Structure 1
């Protein structure tokens, strides 16, 4: 699987998962525009890619504003002559429960994740459609956007919104030969390092040791490299017919998430009045009510955090 001659933009690629995506795309032959708000991180990312024989250039700017999206696309075209792949990975967290979340907490996360994805994809697609050679849009989602997570109203809204946009883009861009997919990674990152449940896995990753099989297989939790392979596949010609999908990946596990479908359909002549619902809900509907939040298997004793 080669990406020779392709050009990619990866937002939020100064470190972590984004850097893993950028390095894998470059390893497969793509020239890469890396992006971060930290100039040192972008410089180090470019240096790492070039040291491995790849080609890269940096754009140090916050994702969200249209001006950044335009700079990313113009940089790709100016330095490498084209644009074929966009990976929208940039993100921030401002976690707190609903009643304590400020307007700034909400707006900051939505601006970077949701608006940043929108502005970057819009700018990339305008170029791709005009160039006429198709393209690949790969947007990074989260299990939180699929099932919700306590304390992440802003992040859940943004990540769920990304999935909705991607489904729409898959329809709108099909005729132009541009695919759009969402990747839902589950991996050891700075965002998961503070979660006690993942402590043993994160520690193994930091120490350069193999991640325990419980995390890789039972939980589907792995390393950034485990996610990068899927990103590279979706960027390639081999995935030309894959579009509009939400693909979960982590450790040894790959998932195709279902799109929302009705879990139960019932009809009542004359419609569903308050009294009819009150009578029918316990017997007809309650059993089909959907769960919320992620469901983790019980953590084996040997991986449980030590108590003080």
Structure 2
């Protein structure tokens, strides 16, 4: 077990993807600090890891503030003597289209996802530097942050911001030997459970059956456990040369996402004025404009969702 002797914090790990990440880190030898806002859920997660033969403790608190970030790091050190790995998974959703989204909807999601990642990473990196630990930081992004998604202004902003911070942190942490990456999971969650497109995949998973190949292979959509292996790998010594990356995992698929690059470049001596753009933009760039939003393949007939029962 390559993570034997390591200690990990996984935020938002009482259930779902976070719990899968925590259990896999534990299976590979790490002691784990579980984090959730529900004390009963956190206790159940700890008990599950201990039943598997691992070691875990819980911090019951919502991430976002510096105080909670400090509490998480202090708990790891007090209970297990050190910290080596941080996985910032905690998140909430408040999906609404732009005109229906309130300030509170926006602020809550940004506070948990974006600020929570910032405060926890800052606290973990401070510990790593002070104690000469070549630690591993794994943030959680989303296809929404990479491509956009209807009704998720707040979530898209947070997830895109996380990847932006990762690229910056990779520069700042390189000298200390600390790696920082973002994982882009595509898996059955409470959110995808409500999307009719994924109905057959989620139902199969809930029955304990393998998802149809169309979802696993063609869409790269799978279970939480399909993502957990990548989390543990990036937390290991074997991944010491991987940093500043956005890496997708889902079903049978693994992807390295490109960072934004210019799709087309043109020069004009003296710069580009309004009239110049009116006259030239479409001819130069009209066929090079970039797509937005995720585009799903058509579902095969046998995988289309069941029609809602008539009332």
TM-score, scaled to structure 1: 0.99
d(CA) in 1 for partners of 2:133, 2:144: 34
C-alpha offsets along residues 168-220 of structure 1, whole Å, 9 cap, x if unaligned?
01000011110000000000011110011111101100010110000000000
Partners in 2 of 1:261 and 1:128 — Cα distance? 32
Q: Which runs of 4+ in 1 moved over 3 A?
A: none
Establish whether residue 116 from structure 1 lines up as the match of residue 131 from structure 2: no
For residues 93-121 of structure 1, give each alpha carbon's deviation from its aligned partner in whole angstroms, at most 9, with x where no partner exists. Answer: 00000011000000000000000000000
Measure the CA separation in 2 of the matches of 1:274 and 1:103: 35
Partner of 2:230: 230
**Residue number in structure 1 paired with 2:297:** 297
Distance 1:29 1:155 in 2: 33
C-alpha distance in structure 2 between counterparts of 1:83 and 1:227, whole Å: 22
What SS class does the counterpart of residue 287 from structure 2 fall into? Answer: helix
1:96 is paired with a residue whose SS is coil
Q: Does 1:104 align with 2:107?
A: no
User: RMSD of the alignment, in Å?
Assistant: 0.7
Correspondence list, 1:260-275, <5 A: 260-275=260-275
Instruction: Tell me by how many angstroms 1:307 deviates.
Output: 2.5
| Partner residue in 2 for 1:166 | 166
Matched, 1:287 2:287: yes
Q: Describe the SS at the equivalent of 2:8.
A: strand
Q: Is 1:75 paired with 2:75?
A: yes
Please, which runs of 5 or more residues in structure 2 have no aligned partner? Answer: none
Output the CA distance in 2 between the equivalents of 1:46 and 1:106: 31
1 CA distance for matches of 2:250 and 2:180? Answer: 20
- Secondary structure of the 2:267 match is coil
- Please report how far the alpha carbon of residue 280 of structure 1 lies from its aligned counterpart in structure 2 after TM superposition: 1.1
Structure 2 equivalent of residue 20 of structure 1: 20
Q: Distance in 1 between matches of 2:207 and 2:279?
A: 58
Q: Quick one: distance in 2 between partners of 1:202 and 1:38?
A: 25
Find the aligned partners of 1:191 and 1:228 in 2 and give their Cα distance: 18
Q: Report the counterpart of residue 35 of structure 1 in structure 2.
A: 35
C-alpha separation in 2, matches of 1:282 and 1:216 = 39
Partner of 1:306: 306
Alpha-carbon distance in 1 for matches of 2:84, 2:171: 18
CA distance in 2, matches of 1:307, 1:212: 19
Give the match's secondary structure for 2:58. Answer: strand
Number of aligned residues: 308
* 1:218-266 residue CA offsets vs partner (Å, 9 max, x unmatched): 0000000000000000000010000000000000000000000000000
Q: Deviations over 1:27-54 (max 9, x none)?
A: 0000000000010110000000000000
Deviation digits for residues 8-28 of structure 1, max 9, x if unmatched?
000000000000000000000
